[in-house]
Amino acid sequence: MTLMDRPTAPSSPVPPASAPPPASATSLDVSRDFCQKLTRRQARNFYYGLKLLPHAKRTAMYALYAYMRLVDDIADDGDQPNPTQRHIALDQWQTATHVAIDAAALPAAVLPTDHPLWPAFTEMIRNYRVPTAVFDDMIAGQRQDLQAAPIPDFAALRDYCYRVASVVGVASLYVFGFQHPDSQSTAPDSQTLQLGIDRGIAFQLTNILRDLREDSARARCYMPEDELRRFNVTAAQIAAGKDSADFQELMQFQLSRARQFYGDSASLEQRIHPDARPTLRAMTEIYRGLLEKIAQKPARVLQRRVRLSAATKLLIGWRAMRGKS
């Protein structure tokens, strides 16, 4: 499970990297349109915030989201239950990613395949110089998800959250732009980078609580094993939807931790370019809204996915645009 909102239905039409669509899909306009439509269809929580960005940054973020959605789909592909084949597909995707990134530095880009993602993705790399390591770390997180191994402690969970969520925040910083004491720098300073990492962890911890039931149905549990033991809760009890006083205490502990990461990253908005602040405020308030809705009745996550209404998200976007919290 990654920071990407899991779709209720397959992301079709999303052709795999090895199956080229019609040749017309190689044009930049078609690629941009593909990324925008994919984001609108799948990014239930991101899309409201991304609409607040200036056109160029919004287009780049659509490409970034589409890339992350597609690589996430490789790891979660229900049509390909063989983990070995998924690992191979991730290897191929990583190779294609490196080709596309290298192409961004060339006057005439030679893209890895005719997949409609790559022209817009390459444009995003060319314009905003997102480092290759960000995408390598993301793919490493997808490989980790394929293993479905229990998470022993919070140190391991934090590492996982970095790979599947904080990398999204780090990549977004390059597109958003930032206030940097060295105007010649092309990278966020270390403090801004850490704030972006912490915000991504906050988002992912929120997702983990929201998706307890769905992840359990897929035989996955992202609660650290040592904390389950501490609160006398088992993954089997979560999968069975069993509420208890112990479960309530476990949830309060997890909610408190997520709030701490939101608090620790509170100054991030002031470090990015002003034209991207409404987007970050909106995305953060949507995720914090989800967290606090879970907190109102934690046992609900055992029965269904907790959501914010479309009207609530629109209100958050309106307030974010006007600089209101």
pLDDT tens for each residue of the chain, 325 residues long = 556 554 444 343 334 343 333 333 468 999 999 999 999 998 877 887 898 999 999 999 999 999 999 998 888 765 566 778 888 899 999 999 999 999 888 876 678 888 999 999 999 999 999 999 999 999 998 888 887 778 999 999 999 999 989 999 999 999 999 875 554 555 678 899 999 999 999 999 999 999 999 999 888 899 999 999 999 999 999 999 999 999 999 999 999 999 999 999 999 999 999 999 999 999 999 999 999 999 999 999 999 889 998 888 888 888 887 775 4
pTM: 0.86
Half-sphere exposure of 266 (CA within 13 A, CB side): 6
Q: What are phi and psi of 7, to 5 degrees?
A: -70, 150
Q: Report domain extents, the chain.
A: 1-147, 148-325
Residue 116 token pair: 């409609």
Domains 1-147 and 148-325 share a fold: yes
What's the CATH number for 148-325?
1.10.600.10
In the chain, what are the helix, strand and coil shares in percent, each to the nearest 5? Answer: 70, 0, 30
Give phi and psi for 219, each to the nearest 5.
60, 35
CATH topology of domain 1-147: Farnesyl Diphosphate Synthase (1.10.600)
9, 129, 142: which is closest to 64 by C-alpha?
129
What span, in angstroms and rounded, lies between the C-alpha atoms of 265 and 273?
A: 16
Rounded Cα distance, 325 and 321, in Å: 10
